[in-house]
């Protein structure tokens, strides 16, 4: 028995091919949901302004003009974090009494001064010191008396306050100074034993000198009560130039101390005068 082949009409074949192509195209165009990244739905919620924000800024939040409001809120936050004091914050006048106090306990020299410090932005502090220095000593195993007559000195310089973001009541300072003094001294009751001639020679020297020196120091100043405060400073100093004579060298320099020393110390009791209105302390940083 012979089988006859099934013959499919050509129009039907074409119709089936078109149907398959359309189906495959629809499947290809359908998105693959497994690879779609979920998108967070948008929200119109606006975060409330920081506490203490100006009323105008709050209205901008309410009306939806949030860009300027957010920028202003950030500025307000910076103002609260970083305070800037007025250019002329205060003027402090002090008396340095450290060495007269030390002299009362046996030190052979002293320098005392009145100082004035202008506090600018609670950071930069130009300062000036005016004072007197004097000395009297008899070195061990040496037969003479050295007297430094009370003589003036002055220093000019500047302090830098590392705690400028805090209250002016408490300061940590780095200071530099340039000092100068012109002074007189005398060496009396000199006894010299001449072994060759077997005699003792006596005499005296009176002379005048000057000195220029520099200082660098670190210190603190703290409030005691009201406008009264106290300051301490440890100073390292060195002489640039001083006057010499044919017969002598000065042992003591007013405002500096012994010529061969390298360290000094000051203690001041201070009175502070504010140079701004109370309502502007501190003014915010722009």
**pLDDT computed for residue 144 by the predictor:** 82
Give the pLDDT confidence score for residue 55 in this predicted structure.
66
pLDDT value, residue 284: 45
Q: Each residue of 42-100: pLDDT tens digit?
A: 555 556 656 656 666 666 655 655 566 566 666 665 555 567 788 999 999 999 999 99
Q: For 120, list phi and psi in degrees, rounded to 5.
A: -115, 120
Q: How far from 138 is each of 112, 222, 260, CA to CA, in Å? A: 22, 38, 17
Q: Any residues with CB less than 8 A from the CB of 270 and at least 6 apart, and which?
A: 92, 93, 94, 221, 228, 229, 230, 231
Q: Which of 213, 200, 224, 195 minimizes the C-alpha distance to 252?
A: 213
Helix or strand run (H / E) with residue 21: helix 10-29
CA 206 vs CA 74, 212, 242: distances in Å: 70, 21, 16
pLDDT the model gives residue 151: 97
Alpha helices in 47-153 (DSSP H): 55-63, 66-81, 98-104
10-residue mean pLDDT series, the chain (286 residues): 54 69 63 53 56 62 58 61 81 96 93 97 97 90 85 98 93 98 90 62 83 98 96 97 89 96 96 78 46
Q: Estimate to the nearest angstrom the gap between the alpha carbon of 183 and the chain centroid.
A: 35
pLDDT value at position 218?
Answer: 98
pLDDT at 28: 58
Q: In angstroms, what CA-CA distances link 276 with 30, 79, 87, 226, 286?
A: 74, 19, 9, 16, 18
Provide the pLDDT for residue 205: 85
**pLDDT score, position 245:** 85
Strand partners, 180: 154, 212
Beta carbons of 133 and 180 less than 8 angstroms apart: no
> Which of 125, 121, 122 is closest to 93 using CA atoms?
125
Residue 281's pLDDT is what? 46
Run of H or E residues at 250 = none
Q: Which of 235, 238, 225, 224 is nearest to 266 (CA)?
A: 235
């Amino acid at each position: 028995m012979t089988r006859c082949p099934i013959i499919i009409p050509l129009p039907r074949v074409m119709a089936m091919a078109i149907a398959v192509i359309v189906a495959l195209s629809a499947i290809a165009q359908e998105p693959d949901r497994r690879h779609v990244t979920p998108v967070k739905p948008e929200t119109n919620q606006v975060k409330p302004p920081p506490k203490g924000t100006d009323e105008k800024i709050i209205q901008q939040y309410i009306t939806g003009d949030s860009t300027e409001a957010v920028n202003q809120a950030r500025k307000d936050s910076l103002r609260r974090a970083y305070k800037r004091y007025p250019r002329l914050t205060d003027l402090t006048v002090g008396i340095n009494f450290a060495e007269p106090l030390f002299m009362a306990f046996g030190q052979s020299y002293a320098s005392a001064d009145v100082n004035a410090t202008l506090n600018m932005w609670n950071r930069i502090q130009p300062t000036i010191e005016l004072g007197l220095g004097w000395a009297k000593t008899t070195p061990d195993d040496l037969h003479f008396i050295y007297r430094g007559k009370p003589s003036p000195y002055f220093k000019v310089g500047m302090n830098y306050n590392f705690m400028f973001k805090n209250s002016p009541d408490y300061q940590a300072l780095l200071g530099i100074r340039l000092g100068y003094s012109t002074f007189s001294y005398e060496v009396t009751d000199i006894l010299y034993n001449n072994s060759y001639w077997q005699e003792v020679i006596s005499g005296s020297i009176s002379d005048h000198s000057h000195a220029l020196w520099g200082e660098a120091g670190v210190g603190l100043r703290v409030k005691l009560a009201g406008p009264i405060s106290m300051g301490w400073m440890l100073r390292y100093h060195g002489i640039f130039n001083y006057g010499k004579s044919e017969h002598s060298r000065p042992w003591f320099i007013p405002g500096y101390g012994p010529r061969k020393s390298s360290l000094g110390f000051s203690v001041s009791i201070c009175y502070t005068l504010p140079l701004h209105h109370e309502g502007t302390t501190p003014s915010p940083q722009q």
